[in-house]
Amino acid sequence: KAGVTQTPRYLIKTRGQQVTLSCSPISGHRSVSWYQQTPGQGLQFLFEYFSETQRNKGNFPGRFSGRQFSNSRSEMNVSTLELGDSALYLCASSLAIRTYSYNEQFFGPGTRLTVL
Amino acid sequence: GQQVMQIPQYQHVQEGEDFTTYCNSSTTLSNIQWYKQRPGGHPVFLIQLVKSGEVKKQKRLTFQFGEAKKNSSLHITATQTTDVGTYFCAGPTSYDKVIFGPGTSLSVIP
Q: What is the pLDDT of residues B23-69, one digit of tens each?
A: 999 999 989 999 999 999 999 999 999 999 999 999 999 999 999 99
- CA–CA dist A34, A48 (Å, integer): 6
The span from the CA of A7 to the CA of B97, in Å, is 25
**Alpha-carbon distance A37 to A92, whole Å?**
13
Q: Which residue among A45, A108, A109 places its CB closest to the CB of B97?
A: A45
Q: Which of B101, B70, B99 is nearest to B7 (CA)?
A: B101
Which candidate from B30, B48, B97 shows the least CB-CB separation from A104? B48
Cα distances (Å, whole numbers) of residue B27 to A49, A98, B49, B76, B92: 25, 21, 16, 26, 10
How close does chain A come to B13, measured CA to CA in Å? 22
Residues of A in contact with B42 (CB under 8 A): 90, 107-110
Strands B10-14 and B104-109: parallel
Look at residue A40 in the predicted model and tell me its pLDDT.
Answer: 81
B contacts of A96 (beta carbons < 8 Å): none
Predicted pLDDT of residue B94: 67
Q: How confident is the model at residue A88 (pLDDT cuts 50, 70, 90)?
A: very high
The residue-averaged pLDDT of A89-102 equals 78
| Structure confidence at residue A97 as a pLDDT band (50, 70, 90) | low
Mean pLDDT, chain B, as a whole number? 94
Mutate to test the interface with B, among A31, A99, A101, A106 (most CBs of B within 10 A): A101
Give the number of other CB atoms < 10 A from CB of residue A18: 11
- Looking at residue A13, its pLDDT comes to 97
Sign of CA dihedral B99, B102, B106, B18: negative
Q: Looking at the partner chain, which of B41, B97, B102 has a beta carbon nearest the beta carbon of A42?
A: B102
Under 8 Å CB pairs connecting chains A and B tally to 59
Nearest chain A alpha carbon to B91: A101
What is the pLDDT at residue A99? 59
Distance CA B28, CA B68 (A): 7
pLDDT of the residue at A102: 67
CA distance A52 to A40: 31
Contact between chains at B97 and A56 (C-beta distance less than 8 A): yes
d(C-alpha B48, C-alpha B34), whole Å:
7
Question: Which pairs from A41-48 meet CB under 8 Å and 24+ separation?
Answer: A42/B100, A42/B101, A42/B102, A42/B103, A43/A90, A43/B43, A43/B88, A43/B90, A43/B100, A43/B103, A44/B100, A45/B97, A45/B98, A45/B99, A45/B100, A46/A76, A46/A89, A48/A100, A48/B97
Residue B15, by phi and psi: left (phi above 0), alpha (psi -120 to 50) or beta? beta
Average pLDDT, chain A: 92
